[in-house]
Amino acid sequence: MSDMGQSRPAIEKSHRVCWSLLGLPFDQVDMNQALEIIERAIETKDKCFLSTPNLNFIVEARRDQSFYESVISSDLVVADGMPLIWTAKLLGIPLESRVAGSSLFERLQNTERDKPISVFFFGGQGDVAQQAAANLNRSSVGMIACGALNPGMGSLESMSSDEIIGQINAAQPDFLVVALGAKKGQQWIMRNREKLNAPVISHLGAVINFVADRIQRAPQHWQKMGLEWLWRVFQEPLLWKRYLVDGLWFLRFIATQVLPLAVYQKCLQGRADKKLHMEITNDGEGGSVEMQLGGSATAVNGVVLQSGCRRILEQLQAIPRVSINCADLDYIDSSALGTLMLLKANILRRGGALGLFRVSGRIRRLMRLQGVEAFLLE
């Protein structure tokens, strides 16, 4: 696992409730709650790296470790795709509605406020960033474009020059919209997030095209039926291959992970009803901590586990080492796995390490079906 940055971990700034879904952690927030988090970050200048995974994110995260890390390391992760919501419902995960990045931006754009949110568009093809900025300034009641820049087709290094970062920071944006292609855009944010001053940063590739009127967004009823992808294929025919590959991967996820997980969870229902037992000890110097887990780690006792994770982070010093003894753990659900993923992400960002040991075959199987075995047990 590579270095995941040194910014203040988001789990220390707020009480995030995350659920593991298809291997990624998703915040349990609806549209209004996500908007509140973004507006609060802008008001307080508290940095928020927003990731909006859709099905393509899930597929790419399985293929590319750095892409996976970018989502794990985000401060807010929302489900931007109806297949994710359908999967969550099948598994009993309370992600009730899709929170699309385009819808978030649209709501911010159309909400009148005393001080408009300043936006910088970075990326896009040709002059699309400049056109998006012009359109935003002409029609938005809640936003104002403070700059736009297309860095061209160069490398991540060339796009991360002091001159480029300086130009973005000089514009003092509240919201930096990146559009470099999902994989490259997430990598660019990870590379430069510490140097950028914008409170909110997100890769929202489609947004820049929507605002520039280069493509039209699908009607609401298409979105609700999960057919926005088909609408986009009509407008951008070259996308058909990506959607075909993503669809085939999704069917594979359903057959090999989602349905077996749903059945296995039912079989373990008796174990899931047990209480959670947790004990935390340290070496007295603040550099090494052990957490012992017993019983069932589930959403029912999620507050206890989250509190324990915060205690660990508060106790740790410069290079933390955390061990989690799972010998007495009977069951773990996607809520607890999401919490442990956040804990490990925060420890990695400090240059430390987290390891789980004495993990039973049953818990390993749950982690494998959840898609988090490689991250939590490596």
DSSP string, 232-259: HHHH-GGGHHHHHHHHHHHHHHIIIIIH
What integer pLDDT is reported at residue 284 of this predicted model? Answer: 59
Cα dihedral value 62, 64, 69, 72, nearest 10 = -30
> Contacts from 92-95 at CB under 8 Å and sequence distance 24+?
92/265, 93/19, 93/21, 93/334, 93/335, 94/19, 94/28, 94/299, 95/19, 95/21, 95/26, 95/28
pLDDT 10s digit of each residue in the chain, 378 long?
Answer: 444 544 444 434 447 899 999 999 999 999 999 999 999 999 999 999 999 999 988 999 988 999 999 999 999 999 998 899 999 999 999 998 899 999 999 999 999 998 999 999 999 888 999 999 999 999 999 999 999 999 988 889 999 999 999 999 999 999 999 999 889 999 999 999 999 999 999 999 889 998 988 777 767 777 777 777 776 777 777 777 877 888 899 999 999 999 999 999 999 988 888 899 999 887 656 568 889 999 999 999 888 898 888 888 877 666 678 999 999 999 999 999 999 999 999 888 888 899 999 999 999 999 999 999 999 997
d(C-alpha 171, C-alpha 159), whole Å = 17
What integer pLDDT is reported at residue 7 of this predicted model? Answer: 44
d(C-alpha 53, C-alpha 185), whole Å = 13
CATH number of 272-377: 3.30.750.24
What integer pLDDT is reported at residue 143 of this predicted model? Answer: 96
d(C-alpha 315, C-alpha 324), whole Å = 15
**Alpha-carbon distances, residue 173 vs 81, 158, 294 (angstroms):** 28, 21, 47
Listed by start position, the domains of the chain span: 10-254, 272-377
Show Cβ contacts of residue 164 under 8 Å, excluding neighbours closer than 6 positions.
Answer: 149, 151
The structure tokens listed for 177 are: 């919209």
Q: Where are the alpha helices (DSSP H) in the chain?
A: 31-44, 55-63, 65-72, 82-91, 101-109, 128-139, 156-159, 162-170, 182-192, 205-211, 220-224, 228-235, 240-253, 259-267, 269-272, 302-315, 334-349, 361-370, 373-377
The number of residues in the chain equals 378
d(C-alpha 18, C-alpha 93), whole Å = 10
The structure tokens listed for 24 are: 């990624």
What integer pLDDT is reported at residue 12 of this predicted model? Answer: 44
Across 35-51, b (16+ Cβ under 10 Å) vs e yields: bebbbebbeeebbbbbb
3-state SS class at 347: helix
* DSSP letter for each residue of 181-211: -HHHHHHHHHHHTTT---SEEEE-HHHHHHH
